[in-house]
């Protein structure tokens, strides 16, 4: 995310909703689900949107202008792999013309110098590249893409060469947490401005690989130490964002700033979601930009209003002193672990499911399982 200051507003909802929500400051645009990588922790839906269902260039341009009218400040072009869209430069230009700050979230494996220069000329403001490890063999095995790590390093060099700021997205888990110190040093060496040390969150495809990804408690404690030391050592050099794994948490994270309060996601087919994983909650119907204006969806969509604010909360959330801070935690995680999206997030120590979830983490982290289940191997056989 950029350093643009957050602005909020209060909007009265329909009678009976009993709460309010703020300005949608940032939007994640999943312009496609196509991707050359096969990351076992992928948070995209198990059932991906087909290319023929994707919004057209003209539809995305209209939506970008509607976002600007709504008050959105930042757009994050993501996927899948956004570079799979042949019109990505045109979409970035449309965001620039609408006055939006734009960030490209990419695997980097198809990001050439020429394409980066075109994106920069179109007004792209920032690039975020994912890295699976510092060791090339491990990185390529995790990503399921032969020679992917070398291509990522090249893309990072090109990003800095054209003058764009760079964030390294380091997705951490049991099989690569030992590489964290080297990954932090790698980010410094490539001139990154920021690194996101993001422990895997278990939605979508990541649930299928949880036993192979779940870190041990000892690893998390070491990760905490490494991050704290690096924050002190690299102050003013590299900003570090740190996301701990929910299964070892005591308090739930404020997921996306609260359901439908400051953020939304648009799927490749145009569905407006409160977060990228919301379609994992079966039974919810999300409105599409093909059917409604974006402003109407933000204010009136039943799915976006369902878990807004605090009135929907059961006990113990309803009586919790922190309910206006964490807004109940993650609805997708509650559904994944309890079957009830309205349940207390099991990451919270007050949840009746908390101890069982913690035990699951301990048990699965001790399995020693290293096998990944990939969607497919379209990117080429990963190196052993």
C-alpha neighbours within 13 Å on the C-beta side of residue 200: 32
The Cα–Cα gap between 25 and 5 comes to 9
283 φ, ψ to 5°? 100, -10
- The reply to whether 320 sits in an annotated binding site is no
- The reply to whether 348 sits in an annotated binding site is no
**Beta strands 11-12; 101-106: pairing state:** unpaired
- Take residue 64 and report the two structure tokens written for it: 């970008």
Number of Cβ within a 10 Å radius of residue 182: 13
- The reply to whether 317 sits in an annotated binding site is no
Q: CA-CA distances (angstroms) from residue 163 to 4, 97, 192, 257?
A: 19, 20, 11, 31
The Cα–Cα gap between 81 and 35 comes to 5
The Cα–Cα gap between 364 and 207 comes to 12
The Cα–Cα gap between 128 and 192 comes to 9
Q: Identify the CA nearest to 95 among candidates 126, 63, 51.
A: 63
Annotated binding site for [4Fe-4S] cluster: 35, 39, 42
Annotated binding site: 35, 39, 42
């Amino acid at each position: 995310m950029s350093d643009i200051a957050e602005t909020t507003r209060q909007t009265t909802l329909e009678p009976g909703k009993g709460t309010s929500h703020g300005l949608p400051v940032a939007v994640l645009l999943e312009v496609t689900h196509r991707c050359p990588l096969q990351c076992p922790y992928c948070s995209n839906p198990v059932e991906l949107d087909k290319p023929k269902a994707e919004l057209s260039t003209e539809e995305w341009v209209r939506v970008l202008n509607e976002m600007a009218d709504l008050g959105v400040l930042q757009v994050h072009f993501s996927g899948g792999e956004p570079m799979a869209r042949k019109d990505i430069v045109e979409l970035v230009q449309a965001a620039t013309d609408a006055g939006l700050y734009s960030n490209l979230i990419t695997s980097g494996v198809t990001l050439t110098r020429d394409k980066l220069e075109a994106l920069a000329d179109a007004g792209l403001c920032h690039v975020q590249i994912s890295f699976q490890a510092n060791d090339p063999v491990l990185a390529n095995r995790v990503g399921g893409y032969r020679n992917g790590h070398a291509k990522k390093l090249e893309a990072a060099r090109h990003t800095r060469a054209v003058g764009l700021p760079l964030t390294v997205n380091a997705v951490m888990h049991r099989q690569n947490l030992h590489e964290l110190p080297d990954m932090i040093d790698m980010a410094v060496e490539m001139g990154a401005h920021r690194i996101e040390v993001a422990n895997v969150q278990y939605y979508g495809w990541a649930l299928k690989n949880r036993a192979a990804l779940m870190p041990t408690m000892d690893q998390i404690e070491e990760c905490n130490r490494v991050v704290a030391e690096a924050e002190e050592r690299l102050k003013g050099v590299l900003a570090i964002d740190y996301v701990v794994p929910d299964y070892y948490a005591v308090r739930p994270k404020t997921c996306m700033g609260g359901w439908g309060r400051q953020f939304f996601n648009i799927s490749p087919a145009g569905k407006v979601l409160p977060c990228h994983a919301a379609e994992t909650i079966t039974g919810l119907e999300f409105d599409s930009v093909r059917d409604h204006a974006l402003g109407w969806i933000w204010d009136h969509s039943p799915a976006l209003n369902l878990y807004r604010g605090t009135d929907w909360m059961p006990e113990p959330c309803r009586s919790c002193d922190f309910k206006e801070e964490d807004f109940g935690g993650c609805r997708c995680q509650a559904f994944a672990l309890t079957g009830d999206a309205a349940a207390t997030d099991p990451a919270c120590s007050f949840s009746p499911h908390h101890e069982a979830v913690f035990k699951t983490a301990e048990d699965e982290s001790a399995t020693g399982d290293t096998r990944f289940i990939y969607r497919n191997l379209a990117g080429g056989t990963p190196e052993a």
